[in-house]
């Protein structure tokens, strides 16, 4: 039986937020998208904050044609408010909480239950679906129940959204650096993912006379853009496409000593993400009194189409240990989803 993998992201590829059988899940119609919007929100937001982190370990640009190659990893912590969402009967067309009514029409529209998101815990809550359909010109009521989705925290052992990537920077004239980050296309015939990003750092302290008096201090402006794309093919004429775009602008400062340097950043984090399920999806079901199984095709207009965005101020502080051309660094960023970043770099300044 075919399965649908709900894509969120690891920066380097697939993150399986939850696997659900197409026949069991997409039958919810528009309600599937409504629920997934809340369920997957922390996974998308954490990914966007990850992509805006780890761009730098100093405010000092390279000399012309100096370069570095860096491998960094980031964990963005899902806040407690992002570990659960409120399911309310009135927000759904055909779904309702078990025990709040004998059917959708009689269910209490104000009834609510707290359910885990993709980075939440587990739940014993049961939901019921009741929708109208038509078979051979005769209207019918389709009704079934299912367990609400559990979060991933118990399965993976932590509640942070992870990411990892490679990036390389090179020095240009006018005390400017250009950084490129990437994850080459990875995956298989059914799944592919890739990432590309560009950043520019420009020293602005050089324009002030005081720069000559504080040679160990650097102040720069930085801007970075990252795009992550993933495609999953669950079957013929079926596709799940995810795209994440992020941008950050920051003012950087650092004190660069011989063995160690300290750096800070103050700026803004912005991002948008989308997940679109497209194609032909169908499931089989039985009708009492009729032989065999019937097939229902899901209307493409009812397939999930999810969008999320972030807008947050960010403050970063970190330290880098310099061992000749080999650097080890770490930083912490305060923002909506606080992030820890660490990496190693081979730098030839």
Task: Judge contact between 302 and 30, C-beta under 8 A.
Answer: yes
* Domain range annotation of the chain: 3-348
Q: Would you list the DSSP string of 123-144? A: ---EEEEEEEEEETTEEEEEEE
pLDDT tens-digit readout, 63-92: 999 999 999 999 999 999 999 999 999 999
**Share above pLDDT 70 across residues of the chain, in percent, rounded to a whole number:** 86
Contact 343, 58 (CB under 8 A): no
The model's pTM is 0.88
What are the start-end ranges of the E strands in 90-211? 95-97, 112-116, 126-135, 138-147, 160-172, 176-187, 191-203
Residue pLDDT, tens place only, 81-136:
999 999 999 999 989 899 887 777 778 889 999 999 989 999 999 998 887 766 55
Kind and range of the H or E run holding 269: strand 260-279
Beta bridge pairs of residue 295: 284
Instruction: Report domain 3-348's class.
Output: mainly beta
């Amino acid at each position: 039986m075919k399965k649908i993998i709900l894509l969120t992201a690891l920066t380097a590829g697939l993150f399986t937020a939850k696997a659900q059988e197409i026949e069991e899940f997409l039958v919810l119609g528009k309600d599937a998208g409504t629920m997934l919007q809340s369920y997957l929100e922390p996974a998308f937001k954490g990914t966007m904050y990850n992509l805006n982190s780890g761009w730098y370990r100093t405010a000092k640009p390279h000399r012309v044609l100096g370069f570095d190659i860096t491998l960094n990893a980031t964990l963005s912590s899902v806040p407690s408010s992002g570990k659960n969402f409120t399911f309310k009967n009135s927000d759904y067309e055909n779904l309702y909480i078990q025990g709040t009514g004998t059917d959708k029409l009689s269910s209490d529209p104000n009834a609510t239950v707290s359910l885990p998101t993709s980075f939440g815990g587990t739940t014993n809550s049961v939901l019921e679906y009741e929708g109208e359909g038509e078979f051979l010109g005769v209207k019918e009521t389709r009704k079934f129940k299912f367990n609400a989705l559990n979060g991933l925290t118990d399965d993976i052992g932590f509640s942070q959204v992870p990411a990892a990537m490679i990036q390389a920077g090179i020095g240009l004239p006018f005390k400017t650096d250009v950084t490129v980050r990437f994850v080459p296309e990875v995956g298989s015939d059914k799944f592919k993912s890739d990432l590309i990003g560009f950043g520019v750092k420009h020293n602005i302290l050089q324009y002030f006379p005081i720069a000559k008096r504080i040679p160990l201090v650097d102040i720069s402006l930085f801007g970075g853009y990252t795009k992550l794309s993933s495609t999953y093919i669950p079957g013929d004429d079926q596709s799940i496409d995810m795209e994440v775009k992020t941008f950050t602008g920051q003012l950087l400062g650092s004190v660069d000593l011989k063995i160690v340097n300290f750096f800070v950043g103050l700026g803004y984090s912005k991002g948008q993400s989308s997940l679109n399920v497209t194609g032909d999806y169908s499931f089989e079901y039985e009708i009492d009194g009729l032989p065999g199984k019937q097939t229902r095709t899901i209307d493409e207009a009812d397939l999930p189409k999810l969008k999320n965005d972030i807008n947050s101020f960010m403050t970063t502080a970190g330290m880098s240990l310099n061992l000749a051309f080999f650097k080890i660094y770490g930083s912490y960023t305060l923002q909506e989803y606080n992030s820890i970043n660490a990496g190693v770099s081979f730098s030839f300044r």
